[in-house]
Chains A and B, each alone.
Chain A
């Protein structure tokens, strides 16, 4: 497929990989970035080049979102790979890593292959699978980590289900290390968390909601870090959301452990009070936390202790959400609102733009060894053009995802995606 070369002129380039944030232009040829002109305009463009005048808009590397759930295979009424890809494109997300807790679970190379084939057929954005760390993501026996790696899975994780058995987890870490596979794990003490719909505290107590103390996260993370130290395996903390767990993470980092941490855009944007009158779109796993925790998480993103922000996209249809709070399914869709929500966070003045953008571009891309996530000559032309200042009002019913469970419903955000390119092809245009 050959398209005309394109030149994006009069844009503000934000490229965390090189540390550049400033005016410039960018040339795309044959699906790759052919040139990056920092601080000026490109010279001597041939007549063949299609010139896109950005009028001062931001030009960012396409976003890399490493924690996305769809319903495919097994629950296509929630979301298909295609509907997720369309939502991602509309949100400026050009690479996603889908979670393995599908039906069947992505725990063998044939399912990895299925995801990759479906993604190629859809031909919209880059879709990569994460494999299950244990068979059936049941936490008991190791999955075929090596074969899944060969088939193309990017890391292993049991997604929402903590691997409770420390012996199993120790083996997963040790084995994955030998194959150079990154292991991700959700830190949540399963006994403290069981049945919880909210974080323990004054709010949950008043609302009569079953709750989990915030320390459940720290308790499991402390165990995980001890096993990481013991095995030397590369480890990804799947969503740190509490101040207590951040302390543990800091200690692990100070020791030089090979640990990277994510948090979700939801935990950066909301606290437990947003549950309001039992709004089930705010029911998440991990649950929304106290404002002190949210502030600590924002601080950790600013300081670089948390290097990756994920959408934690988890579609749940109306029938799973239109229930009493404790019975409703947890999770929120987020692909389409990730970038506007991040830009809104930037406008609130807490984190410099380039540092926020790093958490959704070169941060995750470098960790997983992807060529995307940078504005560099020769890199794939995965790009997003956006107006950082445009106000938007989120209307969940108008989101592209098949499920509309967005906690941002009715919220005003500041930042709008104008155009998304994958390998030089425009996959979304506002």
Chain B
């Protein structure tokens, strides 16, 4: 086992207890819990930068990754998080083609539950799938993305990236841009960032904006230059290419012209603006490579690094509750 870095030890000694069995939605969290999770995650960032990265906080525990939708990035992030904490990690990828959708979701869950995992990480294409699953199993369920609903660990890692870049989240002006309609990342981020005191704006064409999104307490903009004007953070969302070509937007080139992030549009944001993207990026569609690869503005690489740490924090918090019965 490795030595935990000093900062992490201090946080671990703090006797905060995470009261929830599952990690399903950013709306389930409160400000204190988020602050604790972010402090913990900060400690794990230091650990992850050491040569020796392994702790035994989850020793003896089994973590199962159950990804009904493919995601190399999120799945390996959880896998690393579990392994660095000493858990046994199993990856299950029921091929979406061979399962008859949700019937198998419950059946699979019940089967896996019988193998006595402690933590079950789930991604599924239907909103509410993680919540449904949590009602049928005895282990802790972590939502790694349910349809168009939520992706709460993404919001946590985004908050961590921002807090480390700006030293705070309260008062930041954050523009979330692009396909808000289909984005679980956007929904989780809106809830979490607003709770932490940020001013969140939504930017995108009307066809990609959820009905009545203005009632989320966000300002909604259809003009990107106005939408990101004065913003500290511009968070781009991934746009699925099949939604272009006249379906939700007339064409890729028209979309990029009006909603793609390039230098010219970014110049309207505040001077120290940071750019984020949950990945994977469609370069030249929603974001120009020139911006994405500029490490002076882009937090995109940081986000990936923070992802592992944030997930380690969530796993640790849930496991503490398991330890306490």
Chain A positions within 8 Å of B, measured between CB atoms, are: 200-202, 204-211, 213, 277-278, 319, 322-328
Contacts and interface: CB of A to CB of B under 8 A. Distances in A.
A189 B105 CA distance: 32
B184 to A, nearest CB: 6
B126 A325 contact: yes
Given A208-B150, A324-B102, A327-B101, A278 B128 contact: yes
B212 A202 contact: yes
B210 A326 contact: no
Contacts of A204: 211
Nearest to B150: A208
B106 A201 contact: no
Contacts of A213: 211
Interface string B223-264: 000000000000000000000000000000000000000000
Contacts, number: 73
A132 B49 CA distance: 69
Interface of B: 101-103, 105-106, 124, 126-129, 131-132, 146-150, 184, 187, 210-213, 215-216
Contacts of A206: 187, 216
Contacts of A278: 127-128, 131-132
B85 to A, nearest CB: 29
A325 B131 CA distance: 11
Given A206-B187, A208-B147, A278-B127, A323 B212 contact: no
Contacts of A323: 101-103, 105-106, 126, 132
Given A209-B127, A278-B128, A278-B132, A324 B210 contact: no
Contacts of B124: 324
Contacts of B148: 208-210
A325 B187 contact: no
A406 B131 CA distance: 20
B127 A207 contact: yes
B211 A277 contact: no
Top 6 A-B pairs, shortest CB-CB distance: A324-B126, A278-B128, A208-B148, A208-B149, A323-B102, A205-B210
Contacts of B102: 322-324, 327-328
Given A208-B147, A324-B132, A202 B215 contact: yes
Given A208-B149, A324-B101, 14 more contacts: A201-B212, A205-B212, A208-B184, A209-B127, A209-B128, A211-B211, A322-B102, A323-B103, A323-B126, A324-B102, A324-B105, A325-B127, A326-B126, A327-B126
